[in-house]
Amino acid sequence: MPRALLPRRVFVGLPLLAAAGATLRANASELDAPEFELGRLWFDGARSGATTRRGEPVELTLDAHLSDAAGRLLEHARPLEGAAIALDPRTGRVLAWAERRSGGAPGSVLTSARSPAASLFKLVTTAALFEAGGVHPADRVCISGGLRRVERGHLESPRSGDVSCAPFAEALGHSRNAVYAQLATRHLLRGDLLRTAERIGFNSDVPFDWPVPIGQLVVPYNDLEFARTAAGFQGSTLSPLGGAYLASVIAQGGLAQRLRVVRRAPGFEAPDEPQVVRRAMEATTAWRLTRMMEVTVHSGTCRPSFADESGRALLPNLRVAGKTGTLRPESDPTTTSWFIGFAPSRRPEIAVSVLLRNGRVWHQRAAEVARDLLRCYFHERGARGVVNPLVSLP
């Protein structure tokens, strides 16, 4: 018999809008897929599915074990709300989908673009700097400060004080805000950043079974506010599915392809072949971003999250590309924690997107949840030296 995998307050599978009697309809112009109930998903062996209002089966692409793992890892992280998505970037099929909603929160965490993109937006700015600004990864940039904020003094190269210089190739992995403020001011116009972001997909929907926003972007004209936007402090939002889409675009060499969670339904069967929608960025840009995202994991902002207490890699023999994002607006007591990435970074099999909204007391960062989701995936596939993290959960 199919078994429901619905941990307390953690919703595995599609967003449970149907708990209030709602349904979602796949985009008919694209798929002709029927409406189906979202309040109760089932898993039976390797199969996953839901049912239409008329009781007809809808088979989904979700992996039962990985979906269960995503739900358990979110529950263990205990955010105010959060979401975790995994997909196969080679095919666009969603493998795991779980969310945790705070009581009374409207809508779905997974499909809402209400969370700030934070430093994930540096991926977009980096693409703009490469494609519109003529910046090269080897270009050396000197900065002073800017660790937690961007001020007017960060818009130009420092002339005195505690100055540090490094290649731009290291800036993304270490999330150096002052580097982005300086380079965006020097090399980009407002239209450059907006065009790059919209080419990637901001201010539009994920190519998916139904409309889900990737994220929203408002680019100001003021130079300081523009620099803060380029660094991810303001002006941009992202949905967790949008984060997974962004990771898949980079993993696929800059190609945007349709993501799917519906495998088949009465009168509909998803094609086996991946469907490329457009080129979202140049192949060279995607390759450079991949190399810069590897820095994040092996020596940058989430290096501690991907190693044990003795410094040994928790995903040995696997190269991971990722990007973290952390932001707590002054007017908001909650902290947004992000991680998106993919592995193995040179031959990607899985892309992940994790969002946590943590209160003043927090238990885990998004990078730790994403790391363990990757460990679950690769352990199940026999990767050497990768331990199943679920065995240590209470």
Q: What percent of the chain stands above pLDDT 90?
A: 72
| Mean of pLDDT values over 283-307 | 97
The arithmetic mean of pLDDT across residues 90-114, rounded, is 84
Q: Is the pLDDT of residue 14 over 70?
A: no
Compute the average pLDDT of residues 287-309.
96
Helices (H), 78-208: 122-131, 177-187, 190-200
As to burial, measured by CB atoms within 10 angstroms (0-12 exposed, 13-18 middle, 19+ buried), residue 172 is buried
Q: How far apart are the first and last CA of the chain?
A: 27
- So what's the pLDDT on residue 37? 55
Looking at residue 1, its pLDDT comes to: 33
Residue predicted with more confidence, 236 or 271: 236
Task: Give the residue-averaged pLDDT of 179-184.
Answer: 97
CA distances from 310 to 161, 167, 206, 313, 314 (A): 35, 29, 40, 9, 11
Closest of 3, 74, 93, 1 to residue 40, by C-alpha: 3
pLDDT in tens, 318-375: 999 999 999 987 777 889 999 999 999 999 999 999 999 998 888 999 999 999 999 9
CA–CA separation, 142 and 182 (whole Å): 9
Q: To the nearest 10°, the Cα dihedral for 329, 235, 174, 320?
A: 110
Per-residue confidence (pLDDT) for residue 146, from 0 to 100:
83
Provide the H-helix boundaries in 109-239: 122-131, 177-187, 190-200, 223-231
pTM for the model: 0.91
Structure tokens at 252: 């696929």
Please indicate whether residue 200 or residue 147 has the higher confidence score (pLDDT).
200
What is the per-residue pLDDT for 110?
A: 86
**Residue that the structure tokens 């044990």 belong to:** 308
- pLDDT higher at 7 or 274: 274
Mean pLDDT of 13-37: 42
Query: 10-392, which class in CATH?
Result: alpha beta
| DSSP structural state of residue 313 | B
Q: Is the pLDDT of residue 29 over 50?
A: no
Q: What is the pLDDT of residue 27?
A: 44
Q: Are 121 and 232 in contact (CB under 8 A)?
A: yes
